[in-house]
Amino acid sequence: MAKKKPTKTEELLRNSDKSLPLLDVQDLTVEFVTRRGIVRAVQHINISVAKGESLAIVGESGSGKSVTSYAVMRILDRAGRITDGTVMFSGIDLRAMPENEIRDLRGREMSMIFQSPRLALNPIRKIGRQIEDVLHQHAQVDSGLVSEKAIEMLEHVRIARPRERYHAYPFELSGGMCQRVVIALALACKPQLLIADEPTTGLDVTTQKAVMDLTVDLTRERGMSMILITHDLGLAAAYCDRIVVMEKGHVVETAQAERIFKAPSHRYTRKLMRATPRPGVTLRDLLPEEEAKSARPIGHTDRHAAKPLLVVEKLVKEYPRNDARGTLTKLFGPRPAVEPENFRAVDGISFTVDRGESVGLVGESGCGKSTTSMMVMRLIDKTAGTIMFDGEDIGEIPARKFATLPLRKRIQMVFQDPTDSLNPRFTAARAIADPILRLGNGERAFVRERCEELARQVGLPVELLDRFPHQLSGGQKARVGIARAIALKPDLIVLDEPTAALDVSVQAVVLNLLQDLKDSLGMSYLFVSHDLNVVRLLCDRVIVMQTGQIVEQGPTDQVLVAPQAAYTRDLLTAIPHPPL
């Protein structure tokens, strides 16, 4: 098939005034019809992107940043519609364009990449074919050359052995690799604008860096414009020329990247900036200025050097490798030369947590940090090694049995996802009361009083206690989770990425709360996280894990300032640095 005849829009684009901004959004309003009535997700916003410019739209959840991008692409779902404003692309009114014409524009003139790259690809279609689909659709190349072109695209996004990978399915590729494919897909038709919606969420920090670097390189190379949608001010500042800050459907500030960090003009921008964890600040610095002033100073960590609370030695967790051979072959087939080895998720690690100490367990996904925390929590059984808690080898007690032991109440946990960790059928009070009712002694009669007390302690308004999880905000749910964890006054709390699902401003508050609680209740924390900046703020000591082993551990300052292991250094350099 020969190249398609240029369409009307193509001609329009070719003849459009080159001095115009590539994208000019004026007075855009987007409404959603919900059962609670009409919700205005975006209200009268103005955004423009010049040719070759990279713009970041930054905001917390619910700010309308993603909706804006969907509105520009005109891929809002059924309930949403643009009610006001204009969207001009190279001088063409996108809002007035018929659906078949704008479809032609999508992917050819403006492309989009999404978060969770693995989900963004058709799981049962070869990646090469998916790129071809786009090429075909926009008739960019002769159909005979289309697979060559797809392979070429894979090469561009720096996928090794692209000719082989052409035939791969998404599940055969890593997350980072998938995101590269998505980028290839987006750039295949040489669009003028790339919209990247949280492209690195769910990726490890090292991968995140690689993906962002790639994206920026490719767009610069091709003279494209880019809109980066992110919640991470750091990321935005590191990769974009200009930043738009959105709050609750409004644009509150638009400025050059350096400007916004040096002199944020809007109150909200300042709040956001302060809340973003970064080197050289304390926990209190994350809070808005007014609150930071009133907050108590961080207490002195009272470390009992005598006897550590938790001693983990040579801890091993093995999982059987999935044996792919069929039962028949297993029974009758020839014995393999070497028995397939078990997969070691945790490979003989040793560490201690002292009383009153906060220890950070850091690593990228799959490093074994979560498995370790689950074993310490006695939710899963170990394969080998010892877990001594206050002098007792709790590793020997089977996980199933441990649940009802009195010892249980001394080790508690705060979960990563506050929504997932609350029973949707329990009220907040019932959730907080659960451990008291099960493990508390003699407190049953005063459960309600105790719940209210705990609510006050974690800063949860008492009147919210009778609400169900779906009636609470993310921050409130996190507080309920924390209240439940501290209800029995445990000695050790494992914090499993407790703020990963929260907005930065909420994260700042929760981190401070955790610090305060530790100080006032004298607990020890084992803080599991991938975010070095957060660990830096909360932890006394840091353990860095990689592939089931500890690569480095030591006092926070030492490890994060002068890392010994190469891996720790990689982690640190991968953190996006705003231009300060």
Partner 1 sequence: MTDISLSPHGAAAAKAQSNSIFRHARYVVAENPVTGAAFGLFILIALCALIGPYVVPYDPLASDTSATLASPSFKHWFGTDQLGRDIFSRVIVATRLDFTIAISSVMLVFAMGGFAGIAAGFFGGWTDRIVGRISDTIMAFPLFVLAMGIVAALGNTVTNIVLATAIVNFPLYVRVARAEANVRRDAGFVQAARLSGNGDFRILLMHILPNIMPIMMVQISLTMGYAILNAAGLSFIGLGVRPPTPEWGIMVAEGAGNIISGEWWIALFPGAALMIAVFCFNLLGDGLRDLVDPQRRT
Partner 2 sequence: MLTLISRRMMLVIPNLIGVVIITFLLTRALPGDPAAYFAGPAADKQAIEQIRVKLGLDKPLIVQFGRYVADLGHLNLGNSLTTGQPVLTEIKNRLPASAELTLFGLILSMSIAVPLGILAAVKQGSWIDHTCRVVATAGVSLPVFFTGLLLVYVFYFLLGWSPAPLGRLDVFFSPPPQITGFYLVDSLLNRDLSTFRAALSQLLLPGLTLCIFSLAPITRMTRASMLAVLASDFVRTASASGLDSRTVILTYAFRNAMLPVVTTLGMVFSFLLGANVLVEKVFAWPGIGSYAVEALIASDFAPVQGFVLAMAILYVLLNLIIDVLYGIIDPRVRLET
Give buried/exposed letters for 301-311 (b at 16+ CB in 10 A, else e). eeeeeeebbbb
x/- map, 425-454, partner 1, by CB under 8 A: xxx-xxx-xxx-xxx----xx-xx--x---
Q: How far apart are CA 335 and CA 431, in angstroms?
A: 52
Task: Tokens 């709360």: give the residue.
Answer: 513
114 contact choice in partner 2, partner 1, none (CB below 5 to 8 Å, kind-dependent): partner 2
Q: Which of 112, 157, 359, 483 binds partner 2 (CB under 8 A)?
A: 112
377 contact choice in partner 2, partner 1, none (CB below 5 to 8 Å, kind-dependent): partner 1
444 contact choice in partner 1, partner 2, none (CB below 5 to 8 Å, kind-dependent): partner 1
Q: How far apart are CA 408 and CA 565, in angstroms?
A: 36
468 contact choice in partner 2, partner 1, none (CB below 5 to 8 Å, kind-dependent): partner 1
Closest to 23 in 3D by CA, of 83, 71, 75, 92: 92
Q: Please say which residue, 220 or 444, places its beta carbon nearer to partner 1.
A: 444
Residue 566 contacts by C-beta under 8 Å, 6 or more apart in sequence? none
Query: Contact between 65 and partner 2 (CB under 8 A)?
Result: no
Query: Contact between 465 and partner 1 (CB under 8 A)?
Result: yes
Q: Which of 38, 39, 119, 145 binds partner 2 (CB under 8 A)?
A: 119
Residue 71 contacts by C-beta under 8 Å, 6 or more apart in sequence? 28, 30, 42, 80, 82, 87
Q: Pick the stretch among 60-68, 73-81, 303-311, 518-526 that binds partner 2 (CB under 8 A).
A: 73-81
Two tokens at 27? Answer: 């007075």
Query: Contact between 489 and partner 1 (CB under 8 A)?
Result: no
Q: Are strands 541-546 and 524-529 parallel, antiparallel or unpaired?
A: unpaired
Q: Which of 31, 53, 60, 104 binds partner 2 (CB under 8 A)?
A: 104
Q: Pick the stretch among 168-176, 307-315, 385-393, 403-411 that binds partner 1 (CB under 8 A).
A: 403-411
Least distance from partner 1 to the Cβ atom of residue 321, Å:
19
Task: Tokens 């999982």: give the residue.
Answer: 319
Q: Are strands 80-89 and 250-256 parallel, antiparallel or unpaired?
A: unpaired
551 contact choice in partner 1, partner 2, none (CB below 5 to 8 Å, kind-dependent): none
How far lies 136's CA from each of 123, 142, 149, 456, 503, in Å? 20, 9, 11, 61, 40
- Burial classification of residue 427, based on how many CB atoms lie within 10 Å of its CB (0-12 exposed, 13-18 middle, 19 or more buried): buried
Residue-level length of the chain: 580
Query: Contact between 525 and partner 1 (CB under 8 A)?
Result: no
Q: Which of 142, 213, 392, 420 binds partner 1 (CB under 8 A)?
A: 420
Query: Contact between 124 and partner 2 (CB under 8 A)?
Result: yes
123 contact choice in partner 2, partner 1, none (CB below 5 to 8 Å, kind-dependent): partner 2
Q: Pick the stretch among 226-234, 302-310, 323-331, 562-570 that binds partner 2 (CB under 8 A).
A: 323-331
3-state class (DSSP) for residue 93 = strand
- Calculate the CA dihedral of residues 260, 266, 268, 271 and round it to 10 degrees: 60
Least distance from partner 2 to the Cβ atom of residue 174, Å:
15
Q: How far apart are CA 468 and CA 428, in angstroms?
A: 6
578: how many CB neighbours lie within 10 A of its CB?
19
Query: Contact between 324 and partner 2 (CB under 8 A)?
Result: yes
Query: Contact between 125 and partner 2 (CB under 8 A)?
Result: yes
Query: Contact between 10 and partner 2 (CB under 8 A)?
Result: no
465 contact choice in partner 2, partner 1, none (CB below 5 to 8 Å, kind-dependent): partner 1
Two tokens at 299? Answer: 């207490």
Q: Please say which residue, 43 or 416, places its beta carbon nearer to partner 1.
A: 416
Two tokens at 43? Answer: 């209200």
Task: Tokens 């932890």: give the residue.
Answer: 539
Residue 254 contacts by C-beta under 8 Å, 6 or more apart in sequence? 47, 242, 243, 244, 245
Task: Tokens 């500042």: give the residue.
Answer: 237
- Calculate the CA dihedral of residues 498, 233, 51, 219 and round it to 10 degrees: -50
Query: Contact between 196 and partner 2 (CB under 8 A)?
Result: no
Least distance from partner 2 to the Cβ atom of residue 550, Å:
33
Query: Contact between 559 and partner 1 (CB under 8 A)?
Result: no
409 contact choice in partner 1, partner 2, none (CB below 5 to 8 Å, kind-dependent): partner 1
Query: Contact between 424 and partner 1 (CB under 8 A)?
Result: yes
Least distance from partner 1 to the Cβ atom of residue 450, Å:
10
Q: Which of 23, 31, 45, 106 binds partner 2 (CB under 8 A)?
A: 106
Contact residues: partner 1, CB under 8 A: 35, 377, 379, 400, 403-404, 408-409, 411-413, 415-417, 420-427, 429-431, 433-435, 437-439, 444-445, 447-448, 451, 465-468, 470-471, 481, 484-485
Contact residues: partner 2, CB under 8 A: 73, 75, 77-78, 103-108, 111-114, 116, 119-125, 133-134, 137-138, 169, 171-172, 182, 185-186, 322, 324-329
